[in-house]
Amino acid sequence: MKGKVILIGAGPGDFGLMTIKGFEKLKNADVVVYDRLVGEDILRFIPENAEKIDVGKKASEHKIPQYEINRILTEKALSGKNVVRLKGGDCFLFGRGGEEVEFLKNNDIDFEVVPGITSALAVPAYAGIPITHRDFASSVYIITGHKKDNEPLDINFENCVKCGGTLVFLMGVSNIKYITEGLISNGMKKDMPCGVIERGTLPNQRKIISTVSDIAEICENEKIESPAVIIIGKVCELGYDFDWFEKLPLKGKNIVVTRPKDRAEGISEKLKKLGAYVMEYPCIETISLIDDKLFYEILKKIELYDWIVFTSPSGVKFVFDSFFNKKIDGRIFYGKKIAVIGNATGDELKKYGMFYDAMPEIYDGKNLGILLGKITKGKKVLLLRAKDGSSELTYELEKTEVQFDDTAVYYTNYINNQDNMVKEKILKGDIDYITFTSSSTVKAFAISVNKGYDKFTGVCIGEKTNSEAIKHGINTIVSKRAVIDDMVSLIVSEVKKCR
């Protein structure tokens, strides 16, 4: 049975600009054939079991030729696969989607097209440039600044000048001198406003606004590279006053997140929404210890205890996932009280339809232990937490003679991250902040990156994490509460002080 090919426009880079329909189709893919301009955040949504084929192209450096891409799509579909062709921007606007669909039709392959937001519209909007405005332009013309196989550009510059509308050139930054000189020689005023936006919609977006006579030289001096969008017209003047993206509080800041991969999304997305360029550099991973033997031990123990205590979201996840996999009814917790160390752990518990009964005001092991010492006298307590967890918690319980058992349901593994790009940026001083959400992330980071600590500021979630960072000579700032929102607010406050 033949499969199907779905062409999906992934938008200009910001994963929030990909359509809901596009994400729904992507999650059912068996094979994903993707381009260079597809945002990294979007690639994270490719199903883990899907075959991933990178056919990315750079100007004058075609990784895989178009005929080979056509062959891959056809071959995978004929083998019965659900194939997604993931393309930057919109599939049918200078993306050669029409050629691919034509090839599929000629080979009797079923296909579907999910349109995407084109960079011709989105990128100017992220630069504060409305491509139409009643006072400046009532029409817009989208033109390719690139031809296949190094053929010369064939642009009717005379018509471009006469149209009187906004001109948007895609894939044209390498030919910007030819384009601007062609427009000027056909009558365009030399002082016509012109904007060039590099890496549009992404946190590291750069914008230049000048005139058609000067823009090419400025782009060369500033080393502007593809992907970049060129906008020519009076509307570019509005890019100074209407630029909302540049005004985001963390715009221009480079931040590294060291949290485990499966927990990094929350803090990463919060930082990105505020304009930061975020690099995920997971230094630890959490691994379940719940095998069949431990699973049944936990079941027996639950019957004996009055209070169940979770000290991390990972502990909650591993315990309840094991119950789900073994088809154990959640009512086994009937009559039990549950305590959590903080909001994140409580939120994880809610995902499984459970609610906590106690949580300390300060989210750490010491204060959780003090709270339990007050409310569990005469009761039996079961700790379900990490192997080698904080001794502060058990110390406080022992002090108040609380009866408890300490059961390790997962352990933390240090990762010697091989992402050399992040390491190089740290050593060059290109990183502004590195977030640490536990003392384990600090220890693991120190193993992976053992120098350059004076070139960035460590943002620590609490005093225990901060103490570990100070041991390694890291310059730190500490959130008042051990919650992600406080860490993010702290970074925003620090950036405002420096501006």
By annotation, the residues acting in catalysis are: 35, 57
Q: Which residue in the block uniquely carries the two structure tokens 């409580």?
A: 346
What is the 3-state secondary structure of the chain? CCCEEEEEECECCCHHHCCHHHHHHHCCCCEEEECCCCCHHHHCCCCCCCEEEECCEECCEECCCHHHHHHHHHHHHHCCCEEEEEECECCCCCCCHHHHHHHHHHCCCEEEEECCCCHHHHHHHHCCCCCCECCCECCEEEEECCCHHHCCCCCCHHHHHHCCCEEEEECCHHHHHHHHHHHHHCCCCCCCEEEEEECCCCCCCEEEEEECCCHHHHHHHCCCCCCEEEEECHHHHHHCCCCCCCCCCCCCCEEEECCCHHHCHHHHHHHHHCCCEEEECCCEEEEECCCHHHHHHHHHHHHHCCEEEECCHHHHHHHHHHHHHCCCCHHHHCCCEEEECCHHHHHHHHCCCCCCCECCCCCCHHHHHHHHHHHCCCCEEEEEEECCCCHHHHHHHHHCCCEEEEEEEEEEEECCCCCHHHHHHHHHCCCCEEEECCHHHHHHHHHHCCCCHHHCEEEECCHHHHHHHHHCCCCEEECCCCCHHHHHHHHHHHHHHHC
> For residue 5, how far is the Cα from the chain centroid?
26
Cα–Cα distance measured from residue 355 to residue 197, given in angstroms and rounded to the nearest whole number: 48
User: What's the token pair of residue 49?
Assistant: 């079991």
Sign of CA dihedral 123, 128, 133, 135: negative
Cα–Cα distance measured from residue 120 to residue 142, given in angstroms and rounded to the nearest whole number: 7
Question: Which positions ≥6 away from 488 have C-beta within 8 Å?
Answer: 267, 270, 271, 274
User: What's the token pair of residue 428?
Assistant: 């060059």
- Give the count of beta carbons closer than 10 Å to the beta carbon of residue 153: 16
